[in-house]
Structure 1
């Protein structure tokens, strides 16, 4: 994996990054000891990070310093409890767009609001909430080795945003499995009951049933009074629900404009068909 600094060069402007990468960089920028972080950035750029991986809810790394042996370090966040995660997954499963995006391997843009609604914060508010330990002799934390890994984590999050969930105590697979189970449970619980017998209602007699023309029972051929039909445009469109589509900046306006024209055309045709 390349150092984060290399991915933060002029060819990759911060505003072009995924929102979760931007949030991480913004978190780093809140740290008041800028020179210490800058030394870490240089370390990352120069390739001092030999390995970086996550094990369980921790990120572990080997960073080559001035000593012959590389320094071992680990970084972790406070993990959420199982109860907290159950509340979050219940909330996610109630929003079809969130479930669809997560099951597709995407990170919903508004997912932080789900955690906030449950009294949690997916991202730490400041670096003091990011726990770390390094085997180097520097007593200050973060040392330049830890700071280097902070920047490298931007690349880690870019490649797999679910790492952040892992740091909070749940792996990607466990979250997706839980969402699938919630969806299956919801589908089962909303099955329509069979008429009459499921509701404990018994027909009074065979005679009454035989008088009903079951083949045309649900047919309705008379037109509705036009005054009873009121069609108003939806306040939000499909494009609003889907959120920002990841497109190159130079292509985004043209593509979004084209999609809006298509949506308006389809909406008008649907309204005309509804009005007959």
Structure 2
């Protein structure tokens, strides 16, 4: 297992995991745990369903066995969560790209759940070492290494709550396809046969739209193209100047996108009122 280094550029969900753990008042114990993680004492981490098993080398000749788990959500709870995810295309797009949507926690809180542990009692951990404290430094070292795993694969966090990446992606695809299938089945006569769709004309509509039925609203979220695609460039200037320049350009482009979005909505409203 590679040694652990304190990362200043962790993905936000991995940093959130670390911040949550450190907020439980374990600072002194976790400081020793960080040292263990840095020194490479975590020899192995395995995921067995929603549980984590690890081997951590301590002062004894044989490594200690560590187990860790969170309370998994049940079938009904995951059903509600995935339904909420399917209603927002940006969630599916980012998760398919291996990223955690910035406001993903809203989906869980809206259904009375929390993706991250709320209290220390939400984390169930054991270690074979003689230290009665929980977390001991061996468990704490696993905590930090898990944060790195979350950065590499955000679906590991979902797995601790009871759903694998394959299960979530499959369920999302099924959810997003069901309404279209139901609409076709409800509207079509029993004797109707499927008709072919001309993809080149899919977005074309020749009939006149009823103006009273057209409602123009700003986008539901505040994410821009920059949030979805990330910074347009990377600068590696020494002394930290490159990061400052990149941040200034990013903020400037965001303000431009916000102004353009607002002007587009106003222009569309003006056009709609003239046509009406």
TM-score, normalization: structure 2? 0.75
- Find out whether 1:80 has 2:73 as its counterpart: yes
User: Quick one: higher RCO (CA 8 Å, sep 6+), 1 or 2?
Assistant: 1
Q: Does 1:3 align with 2:3?
A: yes
TM-aligned CA deviation for residue 243 of structure 1:
4.6
Q: Which moved more, 1:74-83 or 1:46-55?
A: 46-55
Q: CA deviation at 1:232?
A: 7.5
Structure 1 window deviating more from structure 2 (185-194 vs 109-118): it is 185-194
Work out the CA distance in 1 between the residues paired with 2:120 and 2:175.
34
- Report the counterpart of residue 211 of structure 1 in structure 2: none
> In 1, are the aligned partners of 2:226 and 2:254 still within 8 Å (CA)?
no
Shift in Å, 1:147:
1.0
User: Is the 2:105–2:114 contact (alpha carbons within 8 Å) kept by the matching residues of 1?
Assistant: yes
How far has the Cα of 1:263 moved from its partner? 7.1
Q: Deviations over 1:40-79 (max 9, x none)?
A: 1111111111111212101111101111111111110011
User: Residue deviations 1:178-233, cap 9 Å, x none?
Assistant: 00111111222234977xx849xxxxxxxxxxxxxxxxxx666xxx99xx9x9978
| 8 Å CA contact retained: 1:27, 1:127 | no
> In structure 1, what is the Cα distance between the partners aligned to 2:145 and 2:118?
19
Aligned partner of 2:218 in structure 1 is 234
Aligned counterpart, 2:130: 137
- Alpha-carbon distance in structure 1 between the residues aligned to 2:133 and 2:161: 25
The superposition leaves residues 120-152 of structure 1 with CA deviations (integer Å, 9 ceiling, x where unpaired) of 111001223111111112222111110111111
Match of 1:254 among 249, 257, 262: 249
Residue 245 of structure 1: CA displacement? 6.2
Query: CA offsets, 1:86-123, max 9 Å, x none?
Result: 11111111112212222332211111111111111110
Structure 2 distance, partners of 1:33, 1:239, is 35
Q: Is 1:109–2:93 an aligned residue pair?
A: no
Contact 1:97 1:242 in 2 (8 A): no
Match of 1:57 among 30, 33, 50: 50
Q: May I ask how many residue pairs the two structures share in their alignment?
A: 244
1:160 and 2:153 aligned = yes
Q: Deviations over 1:21-51 (max 9, x none)?
A: 1211111221324221111111111111111
Structure 1 residues 190, 101: CA separation in 2 closer, same or farther (over 3 Å shift)? farther
Cα distance, 1:268 vs structure 2: 5.8
* Stretches of structure 2 lacking an aligned partner (at least 5 in a row): 191-205, 235-242
Find the residue that maps to 2:55 and give its secondary structure: strand
Following superposition, the deviation at residue 260 of structure 1 comes to 5.0
CA contact (8 A) 2:66 2:125 kept: yes
**Conservation of the 8 A alpha-carbon contact between 1:30 and 1:126:** no
Aligned to 1:94: 87
Which residue is equivalent to 2:175? 182
Render the CA deviation track for 1:238-270: whole Å, top value 9, x for unaligned: 745875764465313313523654675688689
Identify if the C-alpha distance between structure 1 residues 88 and 262 changes in structure 2 by more than 3 Å, giving closer, same or farther.
closer
CA distance in 2, matches of 1:262, 1:233: 16
- Name the TM-score, length of structure 1 as normaliser: 0.75
The structure with the larger Rg is: 1
